[in-house]
Amino acid sequence: MSIVSALKDIRQAHNLSQAALARQAGLSRMTINKIETGAVDPQVSTLEEVARALDVEFLVVPRHLKADLEAFLRSGGRYLGQPAGAEAPKSVVDQILSQP
């Protein structure tokens, strides 16, 4: 999924019109339209303004870690087991073992 399509999906999930997003981002509605339709190749700074208006941030992840990170996020931040000392929420196993 591209950054632009992700931002468009987020805008639509928030039930924001292009005009409302444009106001919040300090851009014109036409600029938002051109970005979403692919009529322009926006600068990163413009995409950052759109993201900020949607209350989201970009996260740069090394390509070799992308699949693991996506799986971790889908799991709610919990794997079946995690290495001792991992700075992460308790695993499912740790949660079960800590119950009285």
Number of CB atoms found within 10 A of residue 88's CB: 13
Residue located via tokens 């692919």: 38
Q: What is the pLDDT of residue 72?
A: 79
Q: What percent of the chain has pLDDT over 90?
A: 55
Delimit the domains of the chain by residue range: 3-53, 63-97
pTM over 0.75: no
pLDDT at residue 64 tops 90:
no
pLDDT at residue 92 tops 80:
no
pLDDT at residue 99 tops 90:
no
What CATH code would you report for 3-53?
Answer: 1.10.260.40
| Consecutive H or E run containing 67 | helix 66-74
pLDDT at residue 31 tops 70:
yes
